[in-house]
Amino acid sequence: MGDDHHAEDRPEFDPENVDLPSKEPPLRETAPQSEFTTSQVSTGAVVALVGLALTFGIAFALV
């Protein structure tokens, strides 16, 4: 299938070998370490506010 996990870039796993590999793993990017633009932060804040307004608005409308 289309698995693109860079398997050819990784050394074989050997539990007996405690040496670190000589080659760095491919760079990975995860959300907490990523830099965000002001536009992305604004979009996230708007989505959060709309979600909160809908959640609490529906709850108060049903009371």
* Whether residue 53 has pLDDT greater than 60: yes
pLDDT average, residue stretch 37-62: 94
Contact 23, 9 (CB under 8 A): yes
Q: What is the DSSP string of 3-43?
A: --S-GGGSPPP-TT--SPPSSPPPP---GGGS---HHHHHH
The set of residues, in sequence order, having a beta carbon less than 8 Å from that of 6 and lying 6+ positions away, is 26
User: What is residue 12's predicted lDDT score, i.e. its pLDDT?
Assistant: 72
User: What is residue 52's predicted lDDT score, i.e. its pLDDT?
Assistant: 96
User: What is residue 23's predicted lDDT score, i.e. its pLDDT?
Assistant: 72
pLDDT average, residue stretch 45-56: 96
Indicate the burial class of 39 (C-beta count within 10 angstroms; 0-12, 13-18, 19 or more).
Answer: exposed
d(CA 53, CA 63): 15
